[in-house]
Structure 1
Amino acid sequence: MSERIEADYLIETPVEPERAAEAMAGEQSSGTFVPVPGETPELRERSAARVEALEVIGEVAEPSLGGGAVGERYRRAKVTLSWPMGNIGPSIPNLVATVAGNLFELRQFSGLRLCDIRLPRAFGEAYPGPRFGIEGTRRLSGVDEGPLIGTIVKPSVGFGPEETAALAGELARAGIDFIKDDELQSDGPNCPFDDRARAVMRVLNDHAEKTGKKVMFAFNLTGEVDEMRRRHDLLLELGATCAMVSLNSVGFAGFLAFSRHSELPIHAHRCGWGYLSRAEMLGWDYTAWSKLWRLAGADHMHVNGLRNKFSEGDASVVASALSVGTPLWDDKPCVAMPVFSSGQTAVQAAETFRRVGHADCIHAAGGGIMAHPDGPEAGVASLREAWEAARSGVAAEDYAASHPALKGALEAFG
């Protein structure tokens, strides 16, 4: 394994792509816009970033982004840069500054996107990776095979602790495996975190005593570091089995401070992902972004869902789901469980299974469960039956002939 950090980019530039790539390498390592005293050949050999590969793939007539240099044409290219580990050591916050720092602002570029990252094994020694992942999530939820059928508390905000607990109890009786707070529900005066956690876990613990199944509830404990740690400790005391964190809200340093403290699976929510990714020629690809959060300790990672309510296309969703199951290293894979959500119903199960190729996931449906014409219990059953059909190689429509919950869902949502 190379002891250099590598990053792949998609660039768009009105200047010669080779010159643009060299500007990236210089800006993000030992160089600046003019030669400076002390930047000797020996120093550059030791510390400079290198352009490892460059492939021109096309050109466009208009720039994707404004504010930079202009030209008669704008060529697009795939570029790989590398940096010596000696520049920053195994540090995620400083890695982000290196591979995704000022280069987005360079005048040479009318488009620049970070596509992938490859890291030396020393990063695996420095960071925890997922402590539970797929295996631990299955153990704590009692779901040995197939997806975890999940949902989100809706309305997103507005319920108090007892209303949230009542809904959790209804869903538990309906056979749900997983429930999560909405990312908008935190610790407001209308629904304080501590009161919500106590009320919900009282209901879920009672259900577990009666049935032997403890529903996994991902409580949103996003906050400042001390708040997150204290809330985690309360959840542990109450017998909860999952904590949720909004990644972009707490940042890498905040998340790492929490993940190193946590004894619960961490449900990593990507709210805000659109501002990093929606522009085609600016930002991050999910593959690169999610690798760092997996390394930092995320056990579950949201990947959107097929035919979702947002702007992301299905091919991107599938690529994201596959990426979180791709090992970082053979001896430390850092694999996370993908979470499909956003406008999901039983209708998407067959295609999700076909395109992803496995059922090691959480399939979370809000309206797809709560709005089932025969009620939430039928909504839960419809998703489970849809996945049973998909995993058995039976068309959903054929399976629905003898499974009324699935039939109702296909008629209502198909």
Structure 2
Amino acid sequence: MKRLQAHYLIETGIDPEKAVATMAGEQSTGTFVKIPGETGELMEKYAAKTESMEILGSSPYPSLPFAKKSEGKIHRVRVTLSWPVENIGLNLPNLMATVAGNLFELSPFSGLKLLDIDVPDAYQGNFPCPKFGIRGTYEKLGFDNRPVIGTIIKPSVGLDARATAQQVKQLVQAGLDFIKDDELMGSPSYNRFEDRVEACMAVINDHADRTGRKPMYAFNISGTIDEMLRRHDFVLEKGGTCIMLNLLWVGVSSIQHIASHSQLPIHGHRNGWGIFSRHPYLGIEYSAMSKVWRLAGVDQLHTNGLRNKFCEPDESVITSIKSCQQPLWSPGDRAMPVLSSGQWAGQAFDTYQAVGNTELMYLCGGGIMGHPSGIQAGVESIKDAWKAAMEGMDIAQARKKYNSVNEAFAFFG
């Protein structure tokens, strides 16, 4: 594919063809009047093109305010636009400005959502992309035949470095594969980043020396670019194996810069994503944004999990998981989906059935820490539930075979 393509769901009260022409003009060569220099040759070479347009139906009322008044029906339309790569260059901020810039403010639209993008072949080899991704994450952990089981340090804020390390010691001794900072934990005065890394990595390195097994801790390095570079280097120096970024707030250029520098997997947290996704006729679908983050170099991407505590429906979660696992060009550029939010042993069965593989992270907070028989049993309940699901057991069979799973269902279910 030679051109960048983007797929949209639009809602408009004017003629759909006129509305789509407005989209294409706004995001390439056009303005509100014909201007000098707008030659046919220039338009042919650089204007956005409408690749397809499908009328899906109509709505009795507009989804969003401040649009132009309807000339009759309010049309709902699926649209695909394309652009020459020359317009954008090897530039992710320009890519986002092209596919998701002023479009959302155009008055003909009472709804507009970017559904997905198709990345042109010219981009292959020109962006960081995941250096580790699914394969590299498993290689660092030393297994690849099941999900990565993990948790988040809680309370989110308030613990000092010593208390954090004590919690990490409990968790790694219980058999967890992965631990992460909460996205709110930066470098407060009572738990400075360097103190936390030093204390936690002392515990993890000691555990690795004794057992030959090194769990992964994703330290939140989010900050200015200079801070993030220094923090990455400090984690690496102390033997750490993962860093975390708050993707929306550090920005795509910062992600790309850190990824080009990084020698560690990047764990991408998408906090704030509801701003872009929650309204069905406004924003960006995860399939589109996750591809941009992967081009920038993110190795592990949050997707939510089934029956999560947020508003995202299960169908959307499954689509997000599969999008991360789908190659851009090759298996090496896939990102590991990170399932979290209200997960416990109970969702393992339908998650496995829906996704069809175990190439994912499964993060449980209360599902591990809140298990009635303690943290060790909480970890065992998650691992045993996934083992049962992979063996084709149903919930009743798993509860009968594994006491930790049975206790989890009795308590959480």
TM-score bin (small chain):
over 0.9
Q: What is the Cα deviation at residue 194 of structure 1?
A: 0.3
- Map 1:167-186 onto structure 2 (within 5 A): 167-186=167-186
Q: Residue 209 of structure 1: SS of its match in structure 2?
A: helix
* Equivalent pair of 2:128/2:297 in contact (CA under 8 Å): yes
The TM-score normalised by the length of structure 1 is: 0.98
Percent identity reads 51
| Residue 31 of structure 2: aligned partner | 32
- Give the distance between the partners of 1:116 and 1:299, measured in 2 at CA: 19
- Give the distance between the partners of 1:44 and 1:367, measured in 2 at CA: 57
- Map 1:76-87 onto structure 2 (within 5 A): 76-87=76-87
| Residue 275 of structure 2: aligned partner | 275
Query: Relative to structure 1, is the Cα distance of residues 212 and 145 closer, same or farther in structure 2, using a 3 angstrom cutoff?
Result: same
Task: Give CA deviations for 1:16-50 in whole Å, capped at 9, x if unaligned.
Answer: 11110000000110111110011010110111111
Task: Give CA deviations for 1:184-204 in whole Å, capped at 9, x if unaligned.
Answer: 001111211000000000011
| Residue 327 of structure 2: aligned partner | 327
Q: What is the Cα deviation at residue 333 of structure 1?
A: 5.5
Q: What is the Cα deviation at residue 73 of structure 1?
A: 2.4
Task: Give CA deviations for 1:74-117 in whole Å, capped at 9, x if unaligned.
Answer: 11000010111121212111010001000111001000000111
| Residue 204 of structure 1: aligned partner | 204
Q: Residue 401 of structure 2: SS of its match in structure 1?
A: coil
* Equivalent pair of 2:161/2:196 in contact (CA under 8 Å): yes
| Residue 147 of structure 1: aligned partner | 147
* Equivalent pair of 1:143/1:177 in contact (CA under 8 Å): no
Q: Residue 261 of structure 2: SS of its match in structure 1?
A: coil
Q: What is the Cα deviation at residue 397 of structure 1?
A: 2.3
- Give the distance between the partners of 1:86 and 1:43, measured in 2 at CA: 13
- Give the distance between the partners of 2:32 and 2:389, measured in 1 at CA: 57
Task: Give CA deviations for 1:41-76 in whole Å, capped at 9, x if unaligned.
Answer: 011011111111000001001100111101142110
| Residue 264 of structure 2: aligned partner | 264
- Map 1:229-268 onto structure 2 (within 5 A): 229-268=229-268
Q: Residue 204 of structure 1: SS of its match in structure 2?
A: helix
- Give the distance between the partners of 2:271 and 2:34, measured in 1 at CA: 42
| Residue 92 of structure 1: aligned partner | 92
- Give the distance between the partners of 2:220 and 2:332, measured in 1 at CA: 26
Q: 1:276 corresponds to which letter in structure 2?
A: F
Task: Give CA deviations for 1:96-150 in whole Å, capped at 9, x if unaligned.
Answer: 0001000111001000000111121221222011001111111111233100110
| Residue 49 of structure 2: aligned partner | 50
* Equivalent pair of 1:326/1:333 in contact (CA under 8 Å): no
- Give the distance between the partners of 2:354 and 2:401, measured in 1 at CA: 25
Find out whether 1:351 has 2:350 as its counterpart.
yes
Unaligned runs of 5+ in 2: none
Q: What is the Cα deviation at residue 332 of structure 1?
A: 6.8
Unaligned runs of 5+ in 1: none
Q: How many residues matched?
A: 412
- Give the distance between the partners of 2:240 and 2:197, measured in 1 at CA: 8
* Equivalent pair of 2:133/2:332 in contact (CA under 8 Å): no
